């Protein structure tokens, strides 16, 4: 059975990220990835951008014009003090989809707290949880993580 799971494709990609006072997550279905990837080709890590303001304006327009958020299965952003509600929503999703393979990337600052909650789930063999910093640059998982990272930065700077 374990070997079958290793051969199967990941069904859902979940990304939990935080930026200053905000925390958020998004859930992406495997079937939607081929539609999402062309829309995020220009996404970069915010910290690496030299012209941050121009980059955010372009990306904001790109997100709006491509209707990217409609391709995400779920997305939520809250204040950091509500991180437990974000964690619980993700854990509920993981519990309901225990027959699916789930890739879970969590921001390094939130990883320990989240994995402690994740320990309460019995039968978590279907989950592959990694720290955001462990994602390989230019990999599919890294590119998808830029969605929540970018949206959090847009939200943070719009306030």
- The arithmetic mean of pLDDT across residues 12-19, rounded, is 95
CATH number where 66 lies: 3.30.420
Structural domains of the chain, count? 1
Where is average pLDDT lowest: 6-10, 37-41, 97-101, 107-111? Answer: 6-10
What are the φ and ψ backbone dihedral angles of 121, each rounded to 5 degrees?
A: -80, 125
pLDDT (0 to 100) of residue 108: 94
Sign of the dihedral through C-alpha 26, 72, 48, 131: positive
- pLDDT for 2 beyond 60: no
Pairwise CA distance, residues 26 & 91, whole Å: 13
Give the list of residues 6+ apart from residue 40 with CB closer than 8 angstroms, or none: 68, 143, 144, 146, 147
* pLDDT tens, residue by residue, 109-157: 999 999 999 888 887 889 999 999 999 998 999 999 999 999 999 998 8
Domain hosting 88: range is 2-158
- pLDDT for 13 beyond 80: yes
pLDDT (0 to 100) of residue 157: 84
Helix (H) or strand (E) holding 15: strand 12-19
Q: What percent of the chain has pLDDT over 70?
A: 95
pLDDT higher for 94 or 123? 94
Write down the pTM of the prediction. 0.90
- pLDDT for 5 beyond 60: no
pLDDT (0 to 100) of residue 7: 59
pLDDT (0 to 100) of residue 158: 81
Q: State in Å, rounded, how far the first CA of the chain is from the last one.
A: 49
* Contact in structure between 100 and 126 (CB atoms under 8 Å): yes
Token pair for 113: 């707290």
Question: Confidence class of residue 3 from pLDDT cuts 50, 70 and 90?
Answer: very low
Pairwise CA distance, residues 21 & 25, whole Å: 14
DSSP secondary-structure letter at 73?
S
């Amino acid at each position: 059975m374990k070997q079958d799971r290793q051969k199967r494709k990941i069904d859902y990609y979940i990304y939990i990220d935080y930026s200053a006072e905000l925390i958020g997550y998004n859930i992406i279905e495997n079937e939607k990835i081929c539609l999402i990837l062309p829309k995020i080709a220009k996404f970069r890590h915010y910290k690496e951008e030299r012209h941050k303001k121009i980059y955010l304006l372009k990306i904001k327009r790109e997100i709006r014009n491509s209707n990217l958020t409609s391709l995400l299965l779920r997305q939520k952003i809250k204040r950091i003090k509500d991180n437990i509600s974000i964690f619980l929503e993700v854990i509920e999703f993981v519990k309901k989809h225990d027959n699916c393979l789930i890739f879970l990337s969590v921001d390094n600052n939130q990883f320990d707290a989240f994995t402690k909650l994740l320990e309460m789930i019995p039968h978590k063999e279907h989950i592959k949880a990694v720290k955001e910093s462990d994602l390989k640059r230019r990999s599919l998982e890294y590119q998808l993580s830029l969605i929540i990272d970018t949206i959090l930065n847009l939200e943070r700077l719009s306030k």
